[in-house]
Amino acid sequence: MDLQYIQFSDALPLTGIEEIPEMLPRSLLLHGTDLSNAIEVRVNDDKSPSFVISSVNTIIAQVPSSTIGRTIDSVTVLSSDFTASLRSVITFKIGNNPKEVSGLKALMQTWLKILLTTPGFDSFTKYLGGSVQQYVGGKYNGGTASAAFSAAVTQTTKQVMALQTKQTRLPDDERLIGSELLGLTFDPSLPGLLARVALYTQAGTRAIANMEL
């Protein structure tokens, strides 16, 4: 049984963002087509301490203290839905009541766990791991980041597929047949990078993992 330790969410599309004048604490009025399933608001990548869904189309969100006095560069609204698409956001987060996962979620969780594992960490399978965790928060040039992450994706995919050959009862929607690095974005002046990887299953489905490292 696989327990969920990754938060799977979709980023809801926003049609407008405006600051509410003279409101304390500092707050934003967010507009979207349908924001009714919002579970979290992030401002400049930090979680809003409080938000209210005032209507299907609007949210009032408090700006986190870390952003007080700073320019707001990004706002993301996460929903309780998960489509494993370009809008999906994946966060490592252990909840109070972890649930059993299956299908694409189970596959993505297994793949991400191995991607971040450093070989030698697991005493039973010392070779296992994509070694990506050693790059988290680092600063790299374009060639170094692309080559290192691409190699890690290839290695992780091969390892997951090898492990799954021993799992004869694994459902087709959890059986990996390949992966594809769709994009890699980074700012040389800042630590970390944003990667997008597609995972393909025996069932003919595709899951997209968006990761910020």
pLDDT along the chain (213 residues), means of 10: 53 90 90 88 89 92 88 86 55 54 81 82 72 62 71 91 92 92 67 75 84 68
Class of domain 102-212: alpha beta
Q: What is the pLDDT of residue 106?
A: 83
Q: What is the pLDDT of residue 1?
A: 41
The residue extents of the domains of the chain are 6-89, 102-212
**Separation between Cα atoms, residue 41 and residue 64, nearest integer Å:** 10
User: What pTM was estimated for this model as a whole?
Assistant: 0.60
